[in-house]
Amino acid sequence: MIVRSLNGLGDLLMYLGTVLRSALGSWRRREEIFDKSLLVIQQSLATTVFAGFFVGAIMTLQFTLQVQMFSALSYLGALVTSATVREVGPLLIAFLLSGKIGAFTSAELGTMKVSEQIDAIRCLGSDPIREVIVPRFLGIIIASFFLLSFGLLFSFFGGLLMATTFSGLPWEQYLSQIPRVVSGFSILSGVVKCFVFSLVIATICTYRGYTVFGGAKEVGDGVVQAATQTMIALVVADWFTTFILEGLINV
Amino acid sequence: MFKVTFASLLIETLQSLFQQGVRVKEVVKYLDHLAFKSLNIIVVCVSFAAAVTILEASFHMKLVLHDDSLVPGFASMLIVRELAVVVMSLLLAAKIGAGIAAEVGQMKISEQIDALKLLGINPFNYLVLPRLVACLIAGVLLSLIANAVCLLTAALVTTWSLDQSMAFFMTAFRRFVLMKDLGFSLIKGALFCGIIPLVSCYYGMTCEPGAGGVGRATTKSVVSSSICIIVLDFILTLVFSSFY
């Protein structure tokens, strides 16, 4: 099993290499990429905003209970914002996006593969990776990066709203401590995480769709696999990014 | 033609529970199929999530208190109250939810659900109820496991990267985490997992014909169950917070 999963990982990395190489010359296809990312944003914006808002609200609820034990309620805003921006926000919103974008993309690509449309493109003498995969790949990266950042922004508002209504903390006080704890590095690490996560979602979902083999049932299996594998990869990538960023700050 | 709304699905499923009882054999089958087969993914993901939590918590503690001796207490509290169960159920929403929606949707478009009705079998009792019961049981069991694995990894990471002893972690854990935290966590796990089969069966049963329809039903069910879990989490946290 270990050999098989390593094998799969190697295939995935080689696929990523091919896609990145084809992506280099894709500037002249920018309109198509822009269209794709606009489509993805349109479909997922409401979900992301909603999820971000509730993530912020939940974090505020939890932290209120913990911080109250130490009667340090004035730190609430700082802690919630810092934890959400650096860690919880990107991860949970990326979970949702992987379900939404991932399932959609791998189903679409899988259907194209199974109905031999991808082979048809190859027969016409052009490269399916350049024609079909690269626009989606880059489109998803741009779109999820935008969506994740937007979700983070709304998680901040969710936290602020809950703090004023549930914890009874005036919003000036909630905001006042934020600059002390949330440094530029925290925001940077949140943004870096958003970028890494969007890369993970785009790679695995297009790969799963592209390598489907068989019929309609296999497309369904591929979708489920894409969703679960993306989530595992997200958690591992999260750990990895935190680890590297921690290392960077200590140097 | 077989038509269903979310309310009627809920009512008919509960009704069939009292009229026809639960098919125990099916429940056992789905317990194996849905819960046991997801165990390895949950263990891997939850342990990575725990490692990240410890690293992040120590970063914040150092920033605010200039000392990370409170990390074990806070991290174990956060893990038991929130993290383990939510990460687990979001994973299950993708794995189980997509599977159920695809399976039921496939049955719907190949008219197997209509065939079940013709044979005099209540589709809610046969399809929805066993999955619901299995997921409720699995939710409790899996959240127990997820909590245990998460805490164990957190303890290991603390000893490894923060230079604190395992005994220190355990003492802090005993001081900070109450028995009712665990109880609430199990209730959360059961309810989060219970919402997944209901939502996915609903989308499966309202699936439009064709392979595209099944794909759309799968996507919708994953997204809706994830959102339901997050909203339910918010509501439950609000309710439970009045017990402290």
Question: Is pLDDT above 70 for A251?
Answer: no
Residues of chain A contacting B188 with CB distance shorter than 8 Å: none
Residue whose C-alpha is closest to residue B217's, from B225, B226, B228, B206 = B206
- Per-residue pLDDT averaged across B183-191, rounded? 92
Q: What percent of chain B has pLDDT over 70?
A: 98
- Per-residue pLDDT averaged across A168-183, rounded? 78
**How many Cα atoms sit within 13 Å of A158 on the Cβ side?**
26
| Confidence class for position B192, pLDDT limits 50, 70, 90 | very high
What residues of chain B, 89 to 128, have a C-beta less than 8 Å from chain A? 90-91, 93-95, 98-99, 102, 106
Which amino acid is it at B171? Answer: T
Distance from CA of A23 to the nearest CA of B (A): 27
The pLDDT value given to residue B1: 56
8-state DSSP, B208: P
- The answer to whether the Cβ–Cβ distance between B60 and A100 falls below 8 Å is no
User: What gap in Å lies between CA B2 and CA B10, rounded to an integer?
Assistant: 15
Residue whose C-alpha is closest to residue B104's, from B30, B194, B41 = B30
The pLDDT value given to residue B21: 78
The ipTM is: 0.75
Question: Is pLDDT above 90 for B149?
Answer: yes
Question: Is pLDDT above 90 for A227?
Answer: no
Question: Is pLDDT above 60 for A165?
Answer: yes
| Confidence class for position B145, pLDDT limits 50, 70, 90 | very high
| Preferred mutation among B80, B176, B234, B244 to probe A, highest tally of A CBs within 10 A | B234
Distance from CA of A246 to the nearest CA of B (A): 8
The pLDDT value given to residue B127: 86
- Per-residue pLDDT averaged across B90-112, rounded? 86
pLDDT in tens, A35-45: 888 888 888 88
- The answer to whether the Cβ–Cβ distance between A54 and B230 falls below 8 Å is yes
Are the CB atoms for A245 and A189 separated by under 8 Å? yes
Question: Is pLDDT above 90 for A68?
Answer: no
Are the CB atoms for A56 and A154 separated by under 8 Å? yes
Sequence ranges of the domains in chain B: 6-239
- The answer to whether the Cβ–Cβ distance between B218 and A103 falls below 8 Å is yes
Which amino acid is it at A226? Answer: A
Are the CB atoms for A207 and B67 separated by under 8 Å? no
- The answer to whether the Cβ–Cβ distance between A224 and B91 falls below 8 Å is no
How many interchain CB pairs under 8 A, A with B? 144
Compute CA distances B38 → A13, A79, A91, B45, B96, whole Å. 25, 33, 20, 11, 8
User: What gap in Å lies between CA A218 and CA A226, rounded to an integer?
Assistant: 12
How much is the pTM? Answer: 0.83
**Non-local CB neighbours of A206 within 8 Å, separated by 6+ positions:** A19, A105, A106, A109, A133, A136, A137, A140
- The answer to whether the Cβ–Cβ distance between B56 and A242 falls below 8 Å is yes
Question: Is pLDDT above 80 for A219?
Answer: no
Euclidean distance between the first and the last CA atom of chain A, given in angstroms as a whole number = 38
- The answer to whether the Cβ–Cβ distance between A75 and B214 falls below 8 Å is no
User: What gap in Å lies between CA B50 and CA B47, rounded to an integer?
Assistant: 5
Tell whether B211 lies on the interface with A, counting CB pairs under 8 A: yes
pLDDT in tens, A139-157: 888 888 888 888 888 888 8
Residues of chain A contacting B82 with CB distance shorter than 8 Å: 58, 62
Question: Is pLDDT above 80 for B237?
Answer: yes
| Confidence class for position B186, pLDDT limits 50, 70, 90 | very high
| Pair of tokens at residue A75 | 């730190």
| Partner-chain residue, chosen from A78, A103, A181, that has the shortest CB–CB distance to B98 | A103
Distance from CA of A160 to the nearest CA of B (A): 15
Are the CB atoms for B121 and B219 separated by under 8 Å? no
| Partner-chain residue, chosen from B95, B219, B231, that has the shortest CB–CB distance to A54 | B231
- Per-residue pLDDT averaged across A190-213, rounded? 86
**How many Cα atoms sit within 13 Å of B222 on the Cβ side?**
30
- Per-residue pLDDT averaged across B169-197, rounded? 88
User: What gap in Å lies between CA A123 and CA A128, rounded to an integer?
Assistant: 10
8-state DSSP, A28: G
Residue whose C-alpha is closest to residue A74's, from A187, A172, A159 = A172
Distance from CA of A26 to the nearest CA of B (A): 29
User: What gap in Å lies between CA B95 and CA A63, rounded to an integer?
Assistant: 30
Question: Is pLDDT above 80 for A18?
Answer: yes
Mean residue pLDDT across chain A: 82
| Confidence class for position B59, pLDDT limits 50, 70, 90 | confident
Tell whether B213 lies on the interface with A, counting CB pairs under 8 A: no
Q: Least CA distance to B96: which residue of chain A?
A: A224
pLDDT in tens, B9-18: 888 888 888 8
The pLDDT value given to residue B187: 92
